[in-house]
Structure 1
Amino acid sequence: MLYRRNNKGKVINPNDCEEIVKYINGSLKLEFNLDIMPKAKPVLGVDDLLLGLTQHWARDRSVFPTEDDRLDFATIMLIQAYTACRPAELVDGAKSRGRKDPVIDESERQRDDEAGPDIMEDDSDNGMSDHSNDESVFDEDGHDSDGYESDATGDEDRHATSVKDGYIPDVEMEGTAHSIGLEVDEFGDQVRQHKALCYEDVTLWIVKDPRNRGRDVLAMEVCFRFHKGADNKPKPTIFLLREHPLPILCPISHILARAIRDDAIQVDGYDKAKPFFSTQLKKDAVKVHWKAEWLKRPLFRKSVRTESGGWKKAMEEAMRYAVYAFYLVRLGRDLGSEDRWTSYCFRRGHVNAILGVAPDPVVDQVMRHDPLTGCIGNAYLNGRVGFNVQDAYLERDPSADGLTRAFTHMSIRCNPEQYGLLKHAPQEELVKYRQLQRDLKNGEKRYRDEMTKVYQDVCRRRIHDEELERQLNGLAGEEVAEPAVQHQLAVRTELQGVLCDFNMNLDPRSITKRKIQAIDLFVALAALREVRKPHTSSLKEQRSSRLPGTAPCSVPLKIDPTQCIVCFGDMALPYNSRIYKFSRVSHMMDHVENIHLRRMPVAGNYRCFHPNCEPLGDFLETLGEFKSHVLKVHGCKLRA
């Protein structure tokens, strides 16, 4: 595969392939003691999905560029789990530089690299190594260096990565989407620009109450067009998604929140969740239409920097595969998972769930595989046998215990006592970790990930061994109270309470009320933004019980000399982030210059970001006039 990528898709001679394999399995294997056993195929089941979503919404301390990205990430996880689609069918699958936290600027990333292992204390550290080029190198399990995976083998894989299929080697794709056509056709109609899930691929239905339970139900059809090899053999597949009583597992609630947030619904008045759940239809079903300008736009879009240094959702560019892969790996790492979380874990979990339940043609249709290829058996079957063979041999009921289901999923191998941040760990754990940090600094950088993995394995083994010793000695284990997570945004704290309510014994009216509340909170949260905490030992967090994005009463015209004038007027930020005071005026000046002013246009007028000056628009003609205005009117001096 590396040969084809470096030679414009040219296929290597089969005889040469055999000679290469013989050389690897012969001379190289003996000389370097190579391990040629295939890697594990981890599977994400429903319990793993619920564990990950609970971590994502309730316990995660990581920062996203916008809270829109937090909603999109959870929605993609649900769609992947329910449909077994590849992530490139949902987002822009063009390979590019990735595996970095998109929140961190290049200047911050350079500082983080210089800081060494100490940066591991921060909750936004990506914990992943960087690569200096855009070319992806696959290992024997189908994983490449950017977190992508491949389920194809042999001729199918060669066919999928050829130039004919659209693979263009050595092309920088950063900042552009995978284009598949012109902007308008000969009739003047807009032509689709992205190989990603767009609004026209999603159809929302309100269906007449089928069981006379008191309200109509929502259903959603999702059409996947751009599967693997679609350019040569299209197999569009349509999935029907249904409501779920729990909002955290309801895909329709997430997608509906995305549509309300985008204002994509054509009929006026449907800008809240309640109208969708209070209909009384006389006909069988009603289709909810999207606005014409949104049909060709991606459902999941990337976040881009604004001129003031903040973030906002792009209108046209799709989210990148590398960004989604980074978020997924970070989630699994924060959970303390022994296995690496990748998008194909959902795909394997889905096919293992429907095997034996659905007919073989349905399984092939869901996976978009040709029959008799053997791809499922080679690439998707769980390496851990999902059947109680012991009881079957003993002529007992094989389904009598729950161990089989528990051990075939990934959640049992997660660290239940992971502290998240070092400051939450006991003192003895801090001492051990500091010693490991000093050892890591003396080694090469390429070994850091390996050392971290060894340390995590030792911690997991110690936890289980200590529990066995306590059980043997008859000692009761101490229950460790889970540390409360203090979210920056009050709306997220309120949403956490709704999503973590797993009570299924509610009447239909209460279930509907909970779902409406969750969707409204999804929309409210997506309009706000968290900020990454600065790396400073003198950080003084200013706690406030006020709602984020709101001032206590009137907004003062004069601000503190150590406050940022741009952040002060950003109503999407939490209140304590807007009024944050730097320890020195010089630090505030550096922040304004490096984060905000360097993204403003060199030519053109400037505007003041103070709430009282916002209605005036771009009334400042030069950068010098802007800085003079900020000093004279608002009492904040910027660097000349």
Structure 2
Amino acid sequence: MDFLLHICETYRIKSLGTSWEYYRQYKQLYASVNGRHIDTNDNKEILKWHDATLVPHFKLRPPNVDGKPVVNSDGVFALLVFNIAYDDGIFASERQRINLLGIYQALAYTGARPGELVDNETPKPSDGSWEDLFASKCSTSSNEDNNHAPDEFQLLENILARETTDRGRPKALCYEDIRLMVVRHPETGQDMFSMAVKFIHHKGMDNNPKPTIFWFTMTRKLIFNFINVIICLALCDDAFDAPSLTTVRRVFQVKNAGPVKCTTLRWKKEWLKRPVFRVGDEVVRYHKLRDDLKRQSLDMGNEEPITPKAFRRGNANVMNRKAPDAVRDQALRHDPKWATFNSAYINENIELIHRTPFWTSQQKTL
């Protein structure tokens, strides 16, 4: 109770969902330090005190009461056009403009979380507090005379660190997650580009991995073509394994020979674990994407800044009308039993229903 009261008095907490999220993180810290969870009865009493005393005292509003911004297809089109044609912001290179173009397209098409495309890992504090709280205790031996940890402990520590230090790649979209290929259309017989993108680093993936593969094909409007963006970035990085693929013309001249129906364009081995969206040699961070999107959306003429999650909400609402609930939950990596879409992602705006106007039917009668 003292912790929640200190948080609300010291910081600008406006939502009861925010205050309760701090308490959930406090419970995780308590379990990590003490090796046991908070008593269930104490937890219930804290919840009652939080709702009955803390919320009315600090006037904490319910979550989602003000609505959340949602970006539809028209908003995505306007943002992409502004990015290419009208944005005069400060960019270190044209690659940053292409990075934003590709990230916007991927967010709008797939409804992926921004952390699946860019690096969203929280940097560790440099004051040594993280090591004091969460440093692995299995590497220390109970015997004071033995200065080296047993092999079993060292093996266990390496296994636990595979998702962090031993994975050899950041938690972002890398070239090894993308499969670019030329396939033969089953009806027309023409060769066309197709791309499979595997999203791995979703929310909670360390405990509940749900890798999801999205398929992309060529679009009629070039501004929506995510395949072109990936090809441009790969050519800038010289990531194609074939030495002849050095220009856009040569890439699009790749065709299937004879009875072959699919030709895969492979990446160089040294580029497999490198991120696709980068600023210089560093992967794009979430705060960089958030700040650039906020600036572009305000410069474009929006009354309120657009957040990266607005693409996900818009994509979820489109799938909710055109796909079964099981497909929608699979694409969003939601557990169906929690009904996450109905509680957090459903849009309160109602679209117009296209019907035949009354005057048209009367005119036909006359």
With the shorter chain as reference, the TM-score category is: 0.7 to 0.9
Work out whether 1:252 is the aligned partner of 2:227: yes
Change (3 A) 1:368 1:245: same
For the 8 Å contact 1:224–1:237, the answer to whether it is kept is yes
For the 8 Å contact 1:40–1:383, the answer to whether it is kept is yes
State the partner residue of 2:16.
none
The alpha carbon displacement at 1:258 in A equals 0.5
For the 8 Å contact 1:264–1:291, the answer to whether it is kept is yes
What secondary structure is seen at the aligned counterpart in 1 of 2:346? coil
What secondary structure is seen at the aligned counterpart in 2 of 1:204? strand
Change (3 A) 1:91 1:223: same
Q: 2:355 aligns with which of 400, 404, 407?
A: 400
Inter-partner Cα distance in structure 1 for 2:356 and 2:273: 49
What secondary structure is seen at the aligned counterpart in 2 of 1:351? helix
Work out whether 1:378 is the aligned partner of 2:354: no
State the partner residue of 1:180.
163
What secondary structure is seen at the aligned counterpart in 2 of 1:356? helix
2:296 maps to amino acid: L
1:203 maps to amino acid: R
For the 8 Å contact 1:179–1:194, the answer to whether it is kept is no
State the partner residue of 1:296.
273
State the partner residue of 1:171.
none
Work out whether 1:53 is the aligned partner of 2:76: no
* Deviates further, 10-19 or 317-326: 10-19
The alpha carbon displacement at 1:401 in A equals 7.9
Inter-partner Cα distance in structure 1 for 2:343 and 2:112: 18
Q: 2:212 aligns with which of 237, 240, 243?
A: 237
Change (3 A) 1:224 1:36: closer
Inter-partner Cα distance in structure 2 for 1:179 and 1:358: 36
Change (3 A) 1:36 1:241: same
State the partner residue of 1:80.
107
Map residues 427-466 of structure 1 onto 2, 5 A cutoff: none
The alpha carbon displacement at 1:30 in A equals 5.0
State the partner residue of 1:264.
239
What secondary structure is seen at the aligned counterpart in 1 of 2:92? coil
State the partner residue of 2:175.
199
State the partner residue of 1:62.
89
State the partner residue of 1:220.
195
Q: 1:10 aligns with which of 21, 24, 30?
A: 30
For the 8 Å contact 1:91–1:320, the answer to whether it is kept is yes
Inter-partner Cα distance in structure 2 for 1:22 and 1:6: 17
State the partner residue of 2:151.
none
Q: 1:211-242: CA deviations, max 9, x gaps? A: 448x5210000001121111112111111011
Question: Unpaired segments of 5 or more residues in structure 2?
Answer: 1-20, 32-37, 128-133, 135-160, 358-366
Inter-partner Cα distance in structure 1 for 2:106 and 2:345: 18
The alpha carbon displacement at 1:280 in A equals 3.9
State the partner residue of 2:7.
none
For the 8 Å contact 1:96–1:322, the answer to whether it is kept is no
State the partner residue of 1:168.
none
Work out whether 1:360 is the aligned partner of 2:337: no
Inter-partner Cα distance in structure 2 for 1:84 and 1:267: 32
- RMSD of aligned residue pairs (Cα, Å): 2.8
Larger-gyration structure (1/2) = 1
Inter-partner Cα distance in structure 2 for 1:182 and 1:26: 44
The alpha carbon displacement at 1:65 in A equals 2.5
What secondary structure is seen at the aligned counterpart in 1 of 2:68? coil
For the 8 Å contact 1:180–1:193, the answer to whether it is kept is no
Inter-partner Cα distance in structure 2 for 1:252 and 1:55: 20
Map residues 150-189 of structure 1 onto 2, 5 A cutoff: 180=163
Q: 1:166-187: CA deviations, max 9, x gaps? A: xxxxxxxxxxxx983556xxxx
Inter-partner Cα distance in structure 2 for 1:340 and 1:80: 16
Inter-partner Cα distance in structure 2 for 1:72 and 1:351: 23
The alpha carbon displacement at 1:261 in A equals 0.5
What secondary structure is seen at the aligned counterpart in 2 of 1:399? coil
2:244 maps to amino acid: G
Inter-partner Cα distance in structure 2 for 1:293 and 1:342: 33
Map residues 414-493 of structure 1 onto 2, 5 A cutoff: none
TM-score (norm 1): 0.43
1:272 maps to amino acid: T
Change (3 A) 1:83 1:36: closer
The alpha carbon displacement at 1:57 in A equals 1.1
The alpha carbon displacement at 1:14 in A equals 5.6
The alpha carbon displacement at 1:192 in A equals 2.9
For the 8 Å contact 1:199–1:294, the answer to whether it is kept is yes
Q: 2:117 aligns with which of 69, 80, 90?
A: 90
TM-score (norm 2): 0.72
1:204 maps to amino acid: L
State the partner residue of 2:284.
319
State the partner residue of 1:44.
71
What secondary structure is seen at the aligned counterpart in 2 of 1:276? helix
Inter-partner Cα distance in structure 2 for 1:65 and 1:401: 51
The alpha carbon displacement at 1:96 in A equals 4.9
1:366 maps to amino acid: A
Percent of pairs with identical residues:
34
State the partner residue of 2:311.
346
Inter-partner Cα distance in structure 2 for 1:65 and 1:18: 52
Q: 1:309-364: CA deviations, max 9, x gaps? A: xxxx10xx421111111111112221232333111111111110011311222111
For the 8 Å contact 1:180–1:194, the answer to whether it is kept is no
